């Protein structure tokens, strides 16, 4: 799976969790919490949706890897590829 597809999967989840935020303007290099109104429960919802929808488990110690869209794609890309 390429980076564009991984990004789309992550954006779909974020859009479902952060219903009031516009995910089309996300800057991949900026922390998601700085761009969106995400609290810690929203973040956990994103992690749980990754598990539910794509069977990807993100250990708590890896949560910092999901700080920005680019770091999400970098971290999750190999995990999506392993599932294919």
Read off the pLDDT of each residue in 38-65 and give the average, rounded to a whole number.
96
pLDDT of the residue at 31 = 95
Cα separation, 23 vs 83, in Å, equals 25
CATH number of 3-83, picked from 1.10.1200.10, 3.30.230.10, 1.50.10.10, 3.90.1150.10: 1.10.1200.10
- Residue 1 pLDDT greater than 90, yes or no: no
C-alpha pair distances (Å), 62 with each of 56, 75, 84: 12, 9, 22
Q: Residues 6 or more apart from 54 whose CB is under 8 A from it? A: 9, 80, 83
pLDDT of the residue at 61 = 97
Instruction: Name the token pair of 69.
Output: 């869209």
pLDDT of the residue at 83 = 81
pLDDT of the residue at 79 = 94
pLDDT of the residue at 82 = 87
- Residue 84 pLDDT greater than 90, yes or no: no
Domain boundaries, the chain: 3-83
What mean pLDDT is reported for the chain?
Answer: 94
């Amino acid at each position: 799976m390429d980076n564009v597809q991984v990004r789309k999967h992550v954006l779909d989840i974020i859009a479902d969790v952060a219903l009031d935020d516009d995910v089309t303007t996300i800057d991949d290099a900026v922390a998601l919490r700085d761009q969106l109104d995400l609290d810690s429960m929203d973040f956990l919802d994103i992690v749980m949706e990754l598990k539910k929808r794509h069977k990807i488990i993100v250990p708590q110690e890896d949560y910092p890897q999901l700080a920005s869209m680019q770091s999400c794609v970098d971290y999750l890309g190999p995990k999506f590829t392993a599932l294919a």
